[in-house]
A and B are shown apart, each in its own frame.
Chain A
Amino acid sequence: MGVKAEILLVDDDYDFREALEIILKNHGFTVRAAGNRQEALESLKVKRPDLIILDVMMTTDTEGFDLAYEIKKKYGAENLPIILLTSFLEKVRDEGPGKFQHILGEEWPAKWMFEKPVDTKKLIAKIEGILKEG
């Protein structure tokens, strides 16, 4: 692959975001970073990325979720792949759909989810897999 894909990385933890950004860049991806919902939406308006990595728990417990729904529904980016990151995989799995069921049935905003701290090898392999499938 010549020029690798562009990833929008959204996380409110600056240190973590920067570290992951460096790791991803070192694997040849172009990375744009956003620290919150607003920044992410502005960045989306400028240019559509090939993939979004989104932290679930930011200012609010479900900011990442809300943003993912917003991107899917409002911005018509149904096919834009989103990977969620969470510190509480089990908790999100147990409570996530329940919280949003009244609005969206059982539909999830993202197909993939990784627990923090992230196993970057697996994450990169997954990103490449998703982008390859197109």
Chain B
Amino acid sequence: MGQPAKETGPLNVPEELRKRKRIILGELRERTLWFIKLRWWVPPSIVLGTALARWVGVEFQWSALLWLAGFILVYNFVFYQLSQKVKREACQKEDIERFTHWQVGFDYGTMFLLIHFTGGIASPFIFFFIFHITFSAIFLPRRWTYSFALVAAAGMGLIAATEYLGWIPHHDLLFHGKAMELGQQPFHRVVILGFFSGFVFITAITITAVMEMLERRILDLAELTEAVTVLNNKLNTLYAMTQAVGSKQRLEEVFSIACSELARAMDVQAISVKLLSEDRNFLQFASAYGLPEDILKHKVVEVAKSPLNRRVIEGEPFVTGHVTHGESFQFGEDLEAARLNSVQFVPLIAEKRVIGILGAYSSRPEQFGPDDLNFFRQAAGLVAIAIENARAYEAIENLIQERSRFMNRVAHNLKAPLTAIASMLEVIRNGYLEKVGGELRQYMGRVDQRVCSMLLMIDELMTLAKSQSKQRRAEFAPVDLKILADGIRQTFLQKASQKKLTFEVNVSENFPQAKADSELMEQMLENLVSNAVKYTPEGGRVGLAIEPGENDTIQITVSDTGIGIPKGEISRLFAEFFRASNVKNVIGTGLGLAIVKEIVKQHGGQIHVESEEGTGTAVTILFPASPEESLQSRVSAEMEVLSPDIVH
């Protein structure tokens, strides 16, 4: 399990935030471009407005307006070109702001001229400032909005004043040759100016206030999102750890997952697991993530000499935000040297007994709050369970190994004298010592047969014990059943032909690939076919068929026309040492089918037997094409192995 947190597929909050930021920047850029788009409409509108005004009889400096329309066209074109650059390059907010300032600057200049040529303070265009103020209130810092409002009000004041004082000419609007005299009176001018200034400032204030509120909300949301992220991380960590506890049996694996996950979720530099020795006098680092070597060199801590550790072992968590090399810290200097300011230690408790200490270390002072402590205690609970699990598993494994060693010894000691007897019999039977008469030879042959059956029984008992103790766990890998069946055919061809048996092997074409332990599968087929050959009289028929069964299963059938199994004995067929009442004169141990049963069980399959005494037997085995077991690598021996032919 590399990154279990990712497998669970939760919302990746930081990524979400970045995405949102990208969207906001994109929007800003989009609006800037949108403004350029909008500006394209201004020159034609001026031209159209001019034409319309003249048609209804309004007279004014129309040529100046057309010049201005041309000017807008030119600078908007330049802005458009620049905007393409903004679009292409990944621009920062500042670049976009600067770009906006220039646009507003040009627009203001043009607007002042437009207003000047269409009646000054009485111009119908003065309210067009509203666009820019709104726009800047939304996208630019507040000071810029007020500056724009101020510039608009001041500019208008300047125009009104200079026109009034006659410093610049006043271009009045004429209607059919008659001055419209809008805002000609100084009082009117002051009123309009006052109204205009009030309008732009109120607009600026209102929109910036709304924006401010929105920003606050966004900040709140961001904080909330961050809190959710932290919580989410912690949950994922607990989940990953729970999974690790359930699926990993090796202590190191559990530790490595727990430590790295915890460090990530709590955003700390290091996590450590210290375990108590059996006599409970020493604490030893069992695992550490992110701790510097200097600290790890104190691998063993004497509990009696460490008040802090003693406190935690007594069940009291320890949290500090400022590590000092005071009395409670044995290695305070090392922690300080590693710039670890905050530490948090909680007891690892399994079955109400403290078995060690889980520690978290952070460079930030005052890193751990009550929430962190709570979370850390929960995590410690999981780690403790994992430790207990792994220890129990190790104990069982040791027992199994012990048993296996014992079994091997016993089997070896049982086999050794039999092996010697077999070889010595061979020496006698072959007359290597002195000539042996026919009858004695035959008698020796019978002794040899019994020795062989004894050896066979030891071997089969070993196999059975091994498969039952799960020491030899089934290792599933893709198996080519055709090749397997071919091997079986080769193995039994000679024996079958000696007994003049028809031996048919059929494997379906287009077979789905099966996952099985090929060695066990081979052993199973060998046992079944060997029985069929053994118990079928001369001239009979033995068949092995492998075909797809229902529901993605594989069906293996071994059939014969042999002596069959007496009714009422089929149910006991797969019991250890069971031998049917009609086979007493054939050598066998009664273990072959028990082994078959064990193998079928390991593959999650089923056995079905149909038999009639005197007619024949058909054993059908159904097993899933892909048993749910992980693939395990296996050691392959590159050697030529010659099995002695001792079986039959």
A residues within 8 Å of B by Cβ? 13, 15-16, 18-20, 22-23, 26, 57, 61, 87-91, 93-94, 96-98, 101, 106, 108, 110-120, 122, 126
Contact = CB atoms under 8 A, between A and B. Distances in A.
B646 A23 contact: no
7 contacts: A19-B423, A20-B423, A22-B427, A23-B432, A94-B635, A120-B423, A122-B642
Given A23-B427, A106-B638, 17 more contacts: A13-B420, A19-B427, A87-B415, A88-B408, A88-B411, A89-B643, A90-B463, A93-B639, A97-B635, A98-B635, A108-B639, A114-B642, A114-B644, A116-B415, A117-B646, A118-B419, A122-B642
Contacts of A106: 635, 638
Contacts of B420: 13, 15-16, 19
Contacts of B432: 22-23, 26
Interface residues of B, number: 35
A68 to B, nearest CB: 12
Most buried by A among B462, B639, B646: B639
B644 A122 contact: yes
* Interface SS of B by simple majority: helix
A117 B639 contact: no
B644 A91 contact: no
B472 interface: yes
* Interface SS of A by simple majority: helix
A83 to B, nearest CB: 10
Contacts of B463: 90
A46 to B, nearest CB: 26
B424 interface: yes
Given A22-B432, A87-B415, A117-B646, A93 B641 contact: yes
A119 to B, nearest CB: 4
Given A87-B415, A88-B411, A98-B635, A112 B430 contact: no
Contacts of A57: 412
Contact of B433 (A22, A87, A114, A116): A22
A113 B642 CA distance: 7
B640 A23 contact: no
Contacts of A18: 424
A97 B426 CA distance: 33
A115 B646 CA distance: 10
A119 B427 contact: no
A23 B641 CA distance: 22
Contacts of A117: 418-419, 422-423, 451-452, 455, 644, 646
- Interface pairs A-B: 5 shortest CB-CB: A19-B423, A15-B420, A16-B420, A119-B644, A117-B422
B637 interface: yes
B642 A111 contact: no
Contacts of A113: 639-642
B345 to A, nearest CB: 37
Contacts of A16: 416, 419-420, 423-424
A10 to B, nearest CB: 15
Contact of A115 (B427, B472, B644): B644
B644 A87 contact: no
Interface string B293-305: 0000000000000
A125 B508 CA distance: 38
B371 interface: no
A110 B419 CA distance: 22
A87 B411 contact: yes
B550 interface: no
Given A16-B416, A88-B411, A23 B423 contact: yes
B637 A93 contact: yes
A87 B419 contact: yes
